[in-house]
Structure formats: structure tokens, C-alpha cells
Amino acid sequence: MEDVLEILMNDARTTPEEIAKMIKKPLATVKKQIKAYEQDGTIVQYKAIVNPEMVEGNQHLVRALIEVSITPQKDVGFDHIAERIYKFSEVQSCYLVSGSYDLLLIVEGASIQTVAEFVSSKLSSMENVRQTSTHFLLKKYKEDGKVFKVAPRQKRLNITY
């Protein structure tokens, strides 16, 4: 039934009826599998990917990628400190990664100052956090495999003297 997951990951609006037709399985089987995925936590949430540039009057949140180096705790490794970090409301995503740092966070705030305040007062001051490096996102071109349509630009008038 991995076909069901792949279809829903590509377009969460696909109905069970459409999925059943696509994979040539009985509708009841597809519905049962989707329900099982939802109950066991395989499917966590259905979401829409929104291009913020296409939303008129949208107050854009500031997003930042924050690299975090941490000292793992004895007997619990990275998990305990990662859990403490991802519980902050500013943290949208938290990943354990390989390389020169340990965690990669995606953080949102109302302004650059809000994100900076989060880093300086909440994140950097935590025990076991050794170092952070913050990168502010300037523009989205593609997210979750979907390329964003470019918003129409205002035509500027030529100025002549």
C-alpha cells in the first residue's frame, strides 16, 4: 500500500475513490489503509503548500535556517536536547543532520529582531548548545518538490527628462 502514501504525498487532495481507481484496489481497502496510516502516525498531517508572493496583503513571516552545534547528553544522546528545542513555538522544523553541526532548525518570527531574540535569549543560552549559525531565507523558489509561480511584476514607468 505504499502507492497510497506516494499518491497522497504528491497531492493530499486525491480522494480515496481516485486512489482506488489509480492503483486498481477496492475502495474499502484504500479507505482502511488511509485510516490505519492516520492512526499509527504514518500520516501526520495534510497540508497545502502556499506561495507567499501570490497572497495579496500577506504579512510575511521571517523564516530562518539555524544550524545548532550541541553537546549530546549522557544516556540520551541528541534526542533530549532536540526535544527541548523543538518545543519552542518559533521552531517549525527540527532535524538531526550529519556534518559540521548537529541540528538544523527552521524558525519563524514576525521580524528579523524576533528571530534574533529567540536565538539570543532562548536557544543560545540553553545548556548543551555550543554554537549557532543563522541564515535568513530571502525568497522561496521551490518547496517540497513544487516550483512556485512567479508573481506578476509591476511595470515601472520610464522617466525621461
What is the tens place of the pLDDT at every residue in 120-153? 999 999 999 999 999 999 888 888 888 887 766 6
Q: Give the cell for residue 135.
A: 541564515
Q: Mean pLDDT for the chain?
A: 89
Residues 6+ apart with CB under 8 A from 17: 27
pLDDT of residue 36 exceeding 70 = yes
Q: Which pLDDT score, from 0 to 100, does residue 87 have?
A: 97
Q: In whole angstroms, what is the distance from residue 7 CA to residue 18 CA?
A: 10
72 and 135 housed in the same domain: yes
18 and 69 housed in the same domain: no
- With a pLDDT cut of 90, the percent of the chain lying above it is 67
Q: Using the CB atoms, write b or e for 103-138: b if 16+ within 10 Å.
A: bbbebbbeeeeebeebbeeebeeeebbeebebeeee
Could you count the other beta carbons within 10 Å of the beta carbon of residue 1? 15
27 and 76 housed in the same domain: no
Q: Which domain holds residue 23?
A: 2-40
31 and 81 housed in the same domain: no
Q: Which amino acid is at 44?
A: V
Asked if residue 27 belongs to a domain, the reply is yes
pTM exceeds 0.75, yes or no: no
83 and 20 housed in the same domain: no
64 and 139 housed in the same domain: yes
Which run of H or of E encompasses 143?
strand 142-143
34 and 89 housed in the same domain: no
